[in-house]
Amino acid sequence: SQSLGGGTVNGVFRLRYESVDQDNALDDADALTLSSRLSYTTRTVNGFSAMLEAEDVRAVAGIDSYSVGSTGFKPGRYSSVDDPETTEVDQAFLQYNSDIFTAKLGRQVIVYDNHRFIGHVGWRQDRQTFDAVTLTATPIENLNLSYNYIDERERIFAEDADIDSEDHLFHAAYDTPIGTLTGYAYLLELQDGPDNSLDTYGLRLTGSREINGLDVSYLLEYADQESETETVEYDADYYRVEGGVTLNGVNLRIGYEELGSDDGAYGFATPLSTLHAHNGWGDMFLATPAQGLTDAYLNVSGQAFAGNWSVVYHEFDAEDDSPLVDDLGDELDLQYVYPVAENYTLGIKYARYSRGDATAGKSDTDKSWVWLEARF
């Protein structure tokens, strides 16, 4: 970044190749795309500041053999790579900040916790932002309160696929001696179409401590969800438990996540999530099956040759299984990210999904990525 009239200019550029090979009737996908993001943030005057950020995504070198169904780009021909070409305003907001209170108005990034419910989908080239009002306060030490009102979801599929909404997000986090205790209520509603609501209420505890010389981490989370339209109402639960330990620079985490089902007719939904960060990098469960989803996973990560590596294994099953759908497959994910120079990183990544029951509607899938990212 650099100063410009008392403000700062930042840039993020990511050139990425992605390939998708699926055992189905679709042609294999190949995509080489460049995402460019430039932002200007003013200096703060009497607590006020502003930020403007533009984003552009282009397929380069003629390597665009992929489909983006939500935008009508070569639909139904190739496997999907959800990186449509677009030029748009990524963020544009006015902010006021004091010692205990912050207000932000305009298009902005909103992220809570581990992106499980609210995230920016930063893995995709056109990341997710929101037209929103954000209010945050720290009325007492260790307590953080947040509220967001969202009237448009700027999704990852370019402007034509954005969604008008009337979403209310409530989030409270309190640091306790045993970890951070979080409570949230995410009340989502689409503006267009018949009456609808998707209300999620949850509690989360995360923490870490040293036990017998080992760094131990833990996560416990529960949420209840009600989905209602003019004609039908569903209820589903969410559970997650995770434990981790770090030894000799290697971090091992083992966990179990359950997105519940309402009698096999509805699966717990997280439409504002950074979905790529959960349930496998192959993105096989961007929508939760009606039978629900359980994910037993093992994540091992560390450092080698100045870079960071990760190995993740997932075992997927239906939460509300039936004679036709029980085994939802498994996935192996591999990643290595290396800092090639100051402000530059090189990454390689691979996901291999093996389907379970044929009646579950999934296909064996291999995905590979190579990217170079520059930040200034």
pLDDT tens-digit series, residues 192-231: 888 899 999 999 999 999 988 889 999 999 999 999 999 9
- Contacting residues for 95 by C-beta, under 8 A, at least 6 apart: 48, 49, 50, 51, 102, 103, 104, 105
Stated as kind and residue range, the H or E segment containing 132 is strand 129-137
CA dist 97 and 9 (Å) reads 20
Backbone phi, psi, residue 276, to 5°: -60, -25
pLDDT value for 159? 87
pLDDT per residue as tens digits for the range 295-341: 999 999 999 999 999 999 999 999 999 999 999 999 999 999 999 99
The DSSP symbol for 156 reads T
**Which tens digit of pLDDT belongs to each residue from 44-55?**
999 999 999 999
Residue 285: beta bridge partners? Answer: none
Burial of 13 (0-12, 13-18, 19+ CB in 10 A): middle
- pTM for this model (two decimals): 0.95
Q: What angle do CA 107, 7, 371 make, to 5 degrees?
A: 65
Averaged pLDDT of the chain: 96
CA–CA gap between residue 111 and residue 222 (Å, rounded): 19
Q: What is the Cα–Cα distance from 296 to 241, expressed in whole angstroms?
A: 10
**Contacts of 330 by beta carbon, 8 Å cutoff, 6+ apart:** 313, 314, 315, 316, 353, 354, 356
Q: Quick: pLDDT tens for 20-39.
A: 999 999 999 999 999 999 99
Res 5 pLDDT > 80: no
Neighbours of 21 (CB within 10 A): 17
- 1, pLDDT greater than 60: no
Residues 348-362: tens digit of each pLDDT: 999 999 999 999 999
Under a CB-based contact definition with an 8 Å cutoff, are residues 122 and 37 in contact? no
**What's the pLDDT score for residue 212?**
85
| Residues 84 and 98 sit within 8 Å (Cβ to Cβ) | no
Whether residue 264 has pLDDT greater than 90: yes
For the record, the structure tokens of 156 come out as: 């990852």
Token duo for residue 360: 């579950």
pLDDT of residue 71: 84
Q: Which amino acid would we find at residue 267? A: G
Which element (helix H / strand E) includes 52? strand 48-65
Taking the C-alpha atoms of residue 245 and residue 214, their distance in angstroms, rounded to an integer, is 7
Confidence bin at 6 (pLDDT 50/70/90): confident
Q: What is the pLDDT at residue 96?
A: 98
Above pLDDT 90, what percent of the chain?
Answer: 93
pLDDT of residue 2: 52
Both tokens of 88, joined, read 């748009």
The mean per-residue pLDDT over the stretch 140-147 comes to: 97
pLDDT digits (tens, 9 = 90+) for 60-109: 999 999 999 878 889 889 999 999 999 999 999 999 999 999 999 999 99
Residue 236 banded pLDDT, cuts 50, 70, 90: very high
Select from 369, 347, 248, 370 the least CA-distant residue to 302. 248
What sign does the CA torsion over 170, 272, 204, 320 have?
positive
